[in-house]
């Protein structure tokens, strides 16, 4: 199965709907998620569906009104995708966010996300 722009836009739509079940439907069993923040240079690391689900859930909990807009998507071959977006929302501490970022996505042969690596601009 090849990755399409529709796959990438559908995945982003599931996030914007805050639908954790639909979002997780895009992930492979052996998935890995690297969020943009963490204690290590690559960020935190969530491995497997249970950990990835917990990591994504924390995004929805930490920024309850999170939204990814002004998006563009590229497909690279059969197994790579890039989604560029502007994340907006308000953290639970009341901090307003507006950051530009990208997801680098690697897919398995069944068209499921094997790796999601997220990057945000750092605002000073």
All structural domains of the chain, each given as residue ranges with its CATH number in brackets, are: 5-120 (3.10.450.50)
Residues 6+ apart with CB under 8 A from 76: 82
pTM score: 0.92
What are the CA-CA distances from residue 117 to residues 20, 32, 124 (Å)? 18, 8, 22
Quick: pLDDT tens for 27-58: 999 999 999 988 888 889 999 999 999 999 99
What are the pLDDT digits (tens) for 66-124?
999 999 999 999 899 999 999 999 999 999 999 999 999 999 999 999 999 999 998 77
Instruction: Give one word for 18, left, alpha or beta, with left for phi > 0 and alpha for psi -120 to 50.
Output: left
- Whole-number pLDDT of residue 1: 61
Residue pLDDT, tens place only, 61-79: 999 999 999 999 999 998 9
Q: Please spell the DSSP secondary structure of 60-118, one letter per residue.
A: HHHSTT-EEEEEEEEEETTTEEEEEEEEEEE-TTS-EEEEEEEEEEEE-TTS-EEEEEE
Mean of per-residue pLDDT scores for the chain: 94
């Amino acid at each position: 199965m090849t990755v399409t722009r529709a796959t990438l836009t559908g995945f982003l739509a599931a996030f914007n709907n805050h639908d954790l079940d639909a979002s997780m439907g895009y992930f492979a069993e052996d998935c890995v998620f690297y969020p943009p923040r963490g204690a290590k240079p690559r960020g935190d690391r969530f491995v497997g569906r249970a950990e990835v689900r917990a990591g994504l859930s924390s995004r929805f909990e930490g920024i309850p009104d999170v939204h990814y807009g002004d998006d563009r998507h590229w497909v690279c071959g059969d197994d790579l995708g890039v989604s560029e977006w502007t994340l907006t929302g308000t953290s639970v501490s009341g901090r307003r966010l507006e950051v530009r970022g990208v997801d680098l996505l690697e897919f398995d042969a069944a068209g499921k996300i094997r790796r999601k690596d997220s990057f945000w601009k750092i605002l000073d």
